Chains A and B, each alone.
Chain A
Amino acid sequence: MSMSLLVVQILNGLQLGVLLFLIAAGLTLVFGVMNFINLAHGVQYMLGAYLAVMFYTLTGSSLLALVFALLAALAFGLFLEFVVFRHLYERDHLDQVIATFGIILFLNQAVKYVWGAAPLSLPIPELFSGSIVLLPGLTYPIWRLVIIASGLAVALLLYILVSRTRLGMLVRAGANNAPMVSALGVDIRRLFMIVFGFGTMLAGFAGIMIAPILSVEPGMGDTILILAFVVIVIGGIGSIRGAFIAALLIGLADTLGRSFSVDILRLVMAPSPARTVGPAIASMLIYLMMALVLYFRPTGLFPPKGR
């Protein structure tokens, strides 16, 4: 196992982690502040990717595609909030699960109806295509570095927003005790809308960034949704810091697990069964991690105080 392989895998893990963070951040905010389980967050991510493809086909410019897709994703998210989600805040978690599940069914099908079932593709922006040499014998795609960088930038932005602005203070208070915040005279409806819109934009942004690497297809949000939930549970619901750390942890564990599980297993069993059992264990790894964390910390690693 070479050094460069390890470095590449760590970078890949960071990239996955950063992507998970972008999605989990919105999810944990919405859950923490509004106590709203939004299963439809995954389709928000998918929609971001589809909108990026659509606007790129229309404008031919990656930058314009990014901007328009982001705005459109935000608009659509707010629309969903206004039409459906708003009525669900008071309801049971289970009701929220079903309603948002219904939205998933509808949107996955609608996207297939509008854009067809065939996977779509988005080229990497010219400026960032290709690979650079990080170390001798180690080339790494530039776009993946861009994803890592933008994810870290967003994390920093969120940190500043949440801990240094008044809005952030309201969000943190809301995550702790929403009725109290409302009782103190803050327009809780508007706060919810802003939080939701922001979360939606983050998910859409994740979709836009990953579209050039992964194929854009119906249902692409479903697997990542489960991962995002695992992230926010491990991190502690309502905590952005928790989501960030948990996301990176999961991203690294999943990537390193997938790449080295077979090699590690080959130390104790024959190559052929190792090759089929390895990937299975790698898939289970993050769930094992979650079970472990919840065993020792039943409310996650960094639950906001007061939960």
Chain B
Amino acid sequence: MYRGFTPLAAIAALALVTTTANAQDKLKIGLIATLSGPPAVLGQQLRNGFRLAVKDLGGKLGGREVEIIVQDDELKPDIAVTKVKALIERDKVDFVVGPVFSNVLQTIFKPVTDAGIVLISPNAGTSNFAGKECNPNFFVTSYQNDQAFGVAGKYAQDAGLKKVFLIAPNYQAGRDALAGFKSFFKGEIADEIFVPLGQLDYSAELSKIATAKPDAIYVFLPGGMGINFVKQFRQAGLADKLVFLSAFTVDESTLPAQQDVALGFFAGANWAPNLDTPQNKKFVAGYEKEFNAVPATYAFQSYDAALLIDGALKLTKGSTADKKALQAALQKANFTSLRGGFKFNTNHYPIQDFYLVKVAKRADGKFQTEIAKKVFTNDADIHAKDCPMK
């Protein structure tokens, strides 16, 4: 009666084995990003940036037609592993680009690099993969977290701010953020608060901040957390009393929701939409036209990742077969980055400039961050010395 189930199971298995015939000519890129839940907007920026780059290059990278396979990691590391394995085994991608979040990076790093596939991260840039665990198959087009977090610290130190209050979520990136700030800022730390990841109501923390009366506050609260914090911060009347320094809390992904309440707030970043290079102007205009939103770092870094692949494939004449040659070609960073100067360090993380940026309102009513001051020039991260690759 139920004997039908055995062939059914086999059919189900074979149905999943959907290898496209003769896919060797097309370059397959697996894009893994967080596309569901509140942080989805970051994943969307990452995906959009990459797609725009491929479109601008005529649908080809290194002369080869491109097929982009997008997978959603749902910000669940174990699901990310399954999806990434699907990309590698089932879809046989040539490159994996992603992810957005560092905890996902921790889990997909091993499966991808062990399989000999190049992993390019256009956002997450943790310290362990910059140092001891660096890998010839791993490249980063964003930054190493410490650097981004250190910008505000250096600025605070140089600007003579005496007392700073720190707040970040209670996970690795949050801890890195505050450590990064403190590595440059030598003044008084009023207090350090770690909030549970995903917390949205900051009434308790804001009261503490008001009581502590610091000169400035340094905030790392990505996504929805940052949106809520900034709103409540302004509502509590604190915006006029202290300097707001941050990282990834007031950027183009959150500004559409924050709008006026974030005006005048500062952040540390490696780029801003108004960075004055011709390729960046073209990118920003193109992105806004295509996606009706101001691009954030996630988009531009992803665009650069596509340019990186394109440049490397030009050197290897489109071939991904010789892994060592491909790695060498990628290392050369044979492309013009949207941010201007771009070079890889020995650990495959970028050497680049960092700026203090400020939230501003454009003439057309949209919000963006604008360069206020260059803080680091050609900065290399501190973990490169621990990397065995030379």
B-binding residues in A (CB < 8 A)? 2, 4-5, 8-9, 12, 15-16, 109, 112, 116-121, 124, 129-131, 139, 141, 143-144, 212-220, 223, 255, 258-259, 262, 275-276, 279-280, 282-283
Contacts and interface: CB of A to CB of B under 8 A. Distances in A.
A141 B234 CA distance: 10
B194 A255 contact: no
A280 B196 contact: yes
Contacts of B204: 9, 12, 255, 258-259
Q: In the complex, which range does the number of interface residues on chain B fall in?
A: 35 or more
A12 to B, nearest CB: 4
A112 B41 CA distance: 10
Contact of A143 (B37, B198, B201, B235): B235
Contacts, number: 116
Given A119-B38, A119-B257, A213 B231 contact: yes
Contacts of A262: 193
Nearest to A19: B201
A223 B224 CA distance: 14
Contact of B237 (A131, A215, A255): A131
Interface of B: 35-38, 40-41, 44, 170, 192-196, 198-201, 203-205, 207-208, 210-211, 223-224, 227-228, 231-232, 235-237, 253-254, 256-259, 293
Contacts of A255: 203-204
A5 B207 contact: yes
A259 B35 CA distance: 32
A219 B41 CA distance: 13
Contacts of B228: 213-215
Nearest to A112: B40
Contact of B208 (A119, A120, A144, A259): A259
B37 A218 contact: yes
Contacts of B205: 259
Contact of A215 (B203, B208, B227, B293): B227
A15 B236 contact: no
A124 B232 CA distance: 11
Nearest to A215: B227
Contacts of A121: 227, 231, 256-259
A124 B36 CA distance: 28
A11 to B, nearest CB: 8
Nearest to B235: A141
A215 B224 contact: yes
A220 B39 CA distance: 12
A227 to B, nearest CB: 12
Contacts of B224: 119, 215, 217
B257 A15 contact: no
A217 B199 CA distance: 13
A215 B37 contact: no
Contact of A139 (B170, B227, B236): B236
Nearest to B257: A121
Nearest to B192: A275
A219 B38 CA distance: 7
